[in-house]
């Protein structure tokens, strides 16, 4: 069990809003108010589990909006991940440089809630527990569990690349729904024409 980082505590209202959004969308499940009884129940259910520390970072293009981050490096989970099939290079800058010619335009957008699209296998759930507040005034932390990917797991960028760039965009190209150049940088797309 780790304490949440000062960045999350200082931005409690914004982080709470983001957590509630995930809860309302069914991406995160609330297990209950944190205390000795819930801790005992969790310990009897799972032999191994992690309660990761929550932090947050500013969203560069959205002033005043923060993205909660999950520190799975601190718990050791990221070190236990086999990333051999998930490593890939990001070559979007070179792709843009070769396709964005004189007279062309590029429209850039991101995939909303990209990683939280990816459901987790239930055997991963015990390693995605965290504690935070459910509302702006609650004095007690609640224990929650991520059911879908978050921002902090080592394998999620590679998983998302396979799901989105390779599968979804690949299908759109094969069906000729997408015929323009579209460099992808993690969850940002630049459509060029």
| Rounded mean pLDDT for each run of 10 residues along the chain, 193 residues in total | 92 93 96 96 94 92 85 94 88 92 94 91 96 92 96 92 95 96 93 95
Q: What is the pTM of this model?
A: 0.87
Query: Cα–chain-centroid distance for residue 170?
Result: 22
């Amino acid at each position: 069990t780790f304490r949440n980082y000062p960045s999350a505590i200082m931005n409690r209202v914004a982080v709470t809003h983001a957590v509630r959004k995930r809860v309302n969308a069914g991406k995160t499940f609330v297990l209950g108010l944190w205390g000795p009884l819930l801790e005992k129940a969790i310990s009897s259910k799972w032999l191994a589990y992690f309660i990761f520390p929550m932090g947050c970072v500013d969203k560069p293009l959205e002033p005043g909006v923060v993205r909660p981050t999950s520190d799975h490096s601190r718990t050791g989970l990221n070190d236990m991940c086999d990333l051999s099939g998930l490593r890939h290079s990001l070559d979007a800058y070179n792709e843009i440089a070769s396709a964005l010619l004189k007279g062309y335009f590029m429209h850039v957008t991101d995939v909303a809630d990209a990683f939280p699209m990816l459901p987790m296998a239930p055997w991963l759930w015990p390693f995605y527990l965290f504690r935070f507040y459910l509302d702006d005034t609650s004095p007690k932390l609640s224990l929650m569990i991520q059911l879908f990917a978050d921002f902090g797991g080592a394998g999620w960028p590679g998983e998302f690349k396979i799901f989105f760039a390779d599968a979804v965009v690949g299908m759109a190209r094969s069906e000729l729904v997408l015929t323009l150049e579209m460099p992808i940088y993690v969850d940002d797309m630049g459509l060029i024409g």
